[in-house]
Structure 1
Amino acid sequence: MRHVLITGGAGFIGSHLADELLRHGYKVRVLDCLVEQVHGPDGKRPAYLDPQVELVVGDVCDREAVDRALQGVDAVFHFAAAVGVGQSMYEIAHYTRVNNLGTAVLLEALIARPVQRLVVASSMSLYGEGLYRDVAGRTRETGERTLEQLKAADWELKDEQGKALEPVPTPETKSPTLASVYALSKYDQERMCMLAGRAYNFATVALRFFNAYGPRQALSNPYTGVLAIFASRLLNDSAPKIFEDGLQQRDFVSVYDIARGCRLALETPQAAGEVFNLGSGRPQTVRAIAQRLARVMGKEEIEPEIVGKYRVGDIRHCFADIGKARQVLGYEPQVTLDDGMGELAAWLEGQAAVDKVSQASAELAARGLTV
């Protein structure tokens, strides 16, 4: 498997994976439509994309472009996707077209031109709420918080007696709870790939990414990863906006660890047919991450703005149990949060960002998607 195609490979995670693969002797081709929301209006090849990467500019929904990109490749990483929980709740047709139809087009092309391995980028968003433990020490899955609870700014998950539940690491065995159109589409991507791989005998691996961060994030995209959104605000000397009370917990993982985990999923025979979490395994509150980013950017005087509202599609706590990836893939996060945030801050020094966060928030509010 020396010749690899990455759909959506000119983006943040895909380009880092391309670097990882090149370092290990692979030949890399990328299929990407260079969408404006991520890459800007000029539609040019990103300067950060290694010159050794062959770029095919095309839409994953275009069968001709997909067939062209698949010629001569041994394995495929399927990363092409529209990304964003909030935006997916009103651009439903767009998210369904790119994520669901795009995956279907790729799979039909792979039926005609099979590869040795397909690795699909799934998402932690499909879990909805993570796993919890009650006061009796029992682990349990939960439903969604009620609208009445959210209107009362009562943010935490509780049991039937009204006692708070404690979040614990979420394993791959947790049932999906699909809280947004984005989460639904990522689950569809994952399951379509696994079903087709089993039916047509090409080894398939699904990787559920948690909150990746690092250089090359699209800073002017208000629907991208939360750290990029915070960085965009701070670069413009504005306070990061945080929904609820900021104490919701997430799993922030370096893009370098994600890229390494992806390569291991390609190279590990025992990974075929399996689903893996890729995260750091360490929870952080969103408020603490915002404060930490401000500090490493030298803007610690800018405190995050806690808006005290709920965004439809958001969940309270979710962070990764990475035990399965450790055991099967030999995956081990190597970039500490301090080192990763320091490198991100250094990269941000040379960046400019158009702050579109207020515009995105207004769009959500106008559609009744914040409570």
Structure 2
Amino acid sequence: MGKNIELMKNILITGGAGFIGSNLALKLIEKGYNITILDNLSPQIHGNDPERTSPLYNSIKDKVNFIKGTVTSRGDWEKALEGQNVIVHLAAETGTGQSMYCIEKYTEVNIQGTAIMLDILANTNNGTVEKIVIASSRSIYGEGKYKHPELGAVYPTHRNEKEMLDGDFEVKYNGVDVELMATDEESKIHPSSVYGITKQNQEQMIMTVCPTIGIAPVAFRYQNVYGPGQSLSNPYTGILSIFSTQIRNGNGIKIFEDGKETRDFVYIDDVVNATILGIEKEEANGEVFNVGTGVPTDVLTVANTLINSYEIKVPITVTGNFRLGDIRHNFADLSKINSKLGFKPIVYFEEGIKRFSEWVLQQEIQEDKLNDSLEEMKKKGLYK
């Protein structure tokens, strides 16, 4: 691996016009890297006229070598890979709920897209690529790690649908209540959604194939990433966006389950900083890291914090409805990324929400499409 960052100037970011990708690109440009982006400007993320109206795309378009294309096209990959030293592979279909019925699409983009890249690198004399950073996900852990009163650390499987219909949403192991623990990288991998399965597959292909072809792999299992710039119109991802759009439309917030489900919300700047450490540090090579804050925040707290931030009073309804494939809790153990790469999150939830909501208030109010997406899931039998 070339020790000199000068030798690793050319970086390809797939999905680089997206939320994480565009923020990462701007920071890397600031640091003197040459950035190429391969992105298909998906309407679900960028709207129907992205070249004109997507703020994310417009923030990077004149600063990078932009290739409008898709990771499912071998020709687009061949064009994009030429002369690159590092690949940051972010392009993916995202969204747990949607993945449970758009199965072919998620598999084609996430698994097949990654397979094409590796196939090209394994079968052509591409001597320039030294490192691949793959965006993995906390979703691969499924329900994560819990403490059983007698058995110690356990990894519960899917929750029981009948119990959830009866309003009992907490995680159990063999019928016994268990206590949430931070999920470390050695935790069991057992995703509970098609999205999680595809992220596991991506990660394992990269970590398995790259060392055999002389490329250093690095995987980051991102928790729930948020911040200024995330899509406010996509009803399938991002609870903060969904709630913000509902509040600003004066609509009440409908909360799934009992509102006590938790997530580890990690601010975009921290995600970008962690990813750059993975690009630049040799200590990252061959390793898998969690990226989060290490703090669980429940959904009711998220809703109330946003209502206070926007100073728009809307009713909160805890519905008791739930989506199959959703997990109950998860938060990251950050010991490994801290000791190996020196990463510590800087922006915690309170400060991050403040910055996020200030940005949201400067944006146009988007149409609230949540009910349409829930209707779609209900028809498929996935929303109860």
- TM-score bracket, shorter-length normalisation: over 0.9
Distance in 1 between residues matched to 2:220 and 2:243, nearest whole Å? 25
Give the stretch that moved more between structures: 205-214 or 148-157.
Answer: 148-157
Give the drift of 1:302: 1.7
**Structure 2 residue identity aligned to 1:168:** M
Tell me, yes or no, if structure 1 residue 121 matches structure 2 residue 135. Answer: yes
The aligned residue for residue 37 of structure 2 is: 30
- After superposition, the C-alpha distances for 1:260-299 in whole angstroms (9 at most, x for unaligned) are 0000011111211111000011110011112111211222
**Structure 1 residue identity aligned to 2:338:** R
Give the drift of 1:164: 2.1
* Alignment match of 2:168 (pick from 154, 157, 166): 154
Distance in 1 between residues matched to 2:64 and 2:316, nearest whole Å? 39
Distance in 1 between residues matched to 2:352 and 2:151, nearest whole Å? 34
The aligned residue for residue 80 of structure 1 is: 91
| Matches for 1:286-325 after TM superposition, within 5 Å | 286-299=299-312, 301-325=313-337
The aligned residue for residue 95 of structure 1 is: 106
Q: Secondary structure at the match of 2:12?
A: strand
Give the drift of 1:358: 0.5
**Structure 2 residue identity aligned to 1:56:** I
CA contact (8 A) 1:291 1:303 kept: no
Distance in 2 between residues matched to 1:258 and 1:93, nearest whole Å? 29
Cα 1:52–1:349 shift into 2, 3 Å: same
**Structure 1 residue identity aligned to 2:92:** A
**Structure 2 residue identity aligned to 1:119:** V
**Structure 1 residue identity aligned to 2:23:** H
Tell me, yes or no, if structure 1 residue 56 matches structure 2 residue 67. Answer: yes
Q: Secondary structure at the match of 1:321?
A: coil
Tell me, yes or no, if structure 1 residue 222 matches structure 2 residue 235. Answer: yes
Q: Secondary structure at the match of 1:314?
A: coil
The aligned residue for residue 4 of structure 2 is: none
Identity score, percent: 39
CA contact (8 A) 2:41 2:68 kept: yes
Distance in 1 between residues matched to 2:151 and 2:182, nearest whole Å? 14
The aligned residue for residue 239 of structure 1 is: 252
Give the drift of 1:84: 0.6
Give the drift of 1:136: 4.5
| Aligned-pair Cα RMSD in Å | 1.4
Give the stretch that moved more between structures: 49-58 or 218-227.
Answer: 49-58
- After superposition, the C-alpha distances for 1:287-332 in whole angstroms (9 at most, x for unaligned) are 1112111211222x22432220120110111110011010111111
CA contact (8 A) 2:15 2:21 kept: yes
| Matches for 1:154-303 after TM superposition, within 5 Å | 154-160=168-174, 162-299=175-312, 301-303=313-315
* Alignment match of 1:18 (pick from 25, 30, 39): 25
Q: Secondary structure at the match of 1:5?
A: strand
Tell me, yes or no, if structure 1 residue 355 matches structure 2 residue 363. Answer: no
Distance in 1 between residues matched to 2:367 and 2:113, nearest whole Å? 29
Distance in 1 between residues matched to 2:250 and 2:120, nearest whole Å? 47
**TM-score scaled by length of structure 1:** 0.96
Q: Secondary structure at the match of 2:50?
A: coil
Tell me, yes or no, if structure 1 residue 138 matches structure 2 residue 138. Answer: no
Give the drift of 1:27: 1.4
Give the drift of 1:194: 1.0
Q: How many residues align?
A: 369
Tell me, yes or no, if structure 1 residue 6 matches structure 2 residue 13. Answer: yes
**Structure 1 residue identity aligned to 2:132:** L
Q: Please list every run of 5 or more consecutive structure 2 residues that lacks an aligned counterpart in the other structure.
A: 1-7
Distance in 2 between residues matched to 1:102 and 1:199, nearest whole Å? 19
Q: Secondary structure at the match of 1:47?
A: helix
Q: Secondary structure at the match of 1:48?
A: helix
